[in-house]
Structure 1
């Protein structure tokens, strides 16, 4: 049984890091300064809707994302993991689950973060996938790790995470503490909806294993 986690918004609340990074990078791409109020309003939107709302041309999105990853690194490393998530990871590992990370953030940032905060239960980390490249990354992950799609659960906080999981035919657990609002995620119909990290233990250990 393999549980693969998204990183930003799922393992770490990186909203502050994103906010500060966008204040630096956004104006370089012709975007207006981002206020906290506007950021909160954007959290109910799909990533594509956010990009349109910010006025970023589609062809400039990869470059913007790359700049953002670099700009948010320092603030990210200062932000502790989501409360309770470290203990959940340790317990899942102890119970025999294979754990991994699949993120569009930079590989070096994810690795350095996990090392700094002692998140050492992961068997693999795949990062730098691109903002909308997670479906393909999941396919490659399944093949390279020798995992059957029925044996993998992807845990994430955004609609694009859910869409990637569906495209590959794997189950998806949506977390209610990340970027996308709980209401928007619930409306999209994830296989599992988690309102707090502790729900992972109940849902993954008992419900999913008994299916």
Structure 2
């Protein structure tokens, strides 16, 4: 991979890179039986996609003290089926193009093992780093640490995610946010939080990033 030291793309895993929403709902339903919180019915799934993390916890009636236990259970459940997960959107083609000019990093609350298994399954070797096991509300801290530890400039970093919390994390970390519409949160739920860009196909990224580069060059 030819890496340009000035260009960084952080990509969320579940829902953004991996089409894991259906498996997540399946895992949630299994966890509901084990831990006795509210189930997500078929006719509630679309409503569910409009909720923030806090609204989801309230909807499920899941207390904060149970969140780590339930998260571990869901992760283990999904681990058994991670090899069957498809890539979301047209990532295979997009990543091949982006890897020529950008350093690509995965940041996720999922486990390193699950992510690596998925990457191996799809023969994706274009990521320089995997930042895994990030807490449900720990993405801002993880992004800031990435930037500090690697001496990156905030203006050169893009964060791509599929949830409201991804947009909020990017804003708090003072980097550009790109929201995808094919993941956990619906497009109508993402837009009010004002991501810098909203895309419905990964190929759109290439044009967006090229425009951002031209803008940065003019400002310099």
Bin the TM-score by the shorter chain. Answer: over 0.9
The match for 2:152 is 147
Residue 97 (1) aligns with residue 110 (2) = no
CA distance in 2, matches of 1:23, 1:45: 17
The partner residue of 2:8 within 2, 5, 8 is: 2
Superposed displacement of residue 38, structure 1: 1.7
The partner residue of 1:209 within 183, 206, 213 is: 213
For residues 8-59 of structure 1, what are the alpha-carbon distances to aligned partners after superposition, in whole Å with 9 as ceiling and x for unaligned?
1101110121122112212222213332222222001111101110000012
Aligned residues: 209
The partner residue of 1:25 within 31, 34, 45 is: 31
1:29–1:56: 8 Å Cα contact kept in structure 2? no
For residues 65-95 of structure 1, what are the alpha-carbon distances to aligned partners after superposition, in whole Å with 9 as ceiling and x for unaligned?
111111111223201101311110110112x
The partner residue of 1:192 within 189, 193, 197 is: 197
Superposed displacement of residue 123, structure 1: 0.9
The match for 1:170 is 175
Question: What is the TM-score with the length of structure 1 in the denominator?
Answer: 0.95
Residue 55 (1) aligns with residue 61 (2) = yes
CA distance in 1, matches of 2:171, 2:62: 27
Residue 130 (1) aligns with residue 141 (2) = no
Question: What is the TM-score with the length of structure 2 in the denominator?
Answer: 0.91
Poorly superposed stretches of 4+, deviation over 3 Å: none
Residue 67 (1) aligns with residue 95 (2) = no
Superposed displacement of residue 155, structure 1: 0.2
The partner residue of 1:114 within 108, 112, 119 is: 119
CA distance in 2, matches of 1:169, 1:108: 29
CA distance in 2, matches of 1:28, 1:155: 33
The match for 1:14 is 20
1:7–1:101: 8 Å Cα contact kept in structure 2? yes
SS at the partner of 1:99? strand
User: Which range moved further: 142-151 or 3-12?
Assistant: 142-151
1:17–1:73: 8 Å Cα contact kept in structure 2? no
CA distance in 2, matches of 1:78, 1:93: 24
Superposed displacement of residue 131, structure 1: 0.9
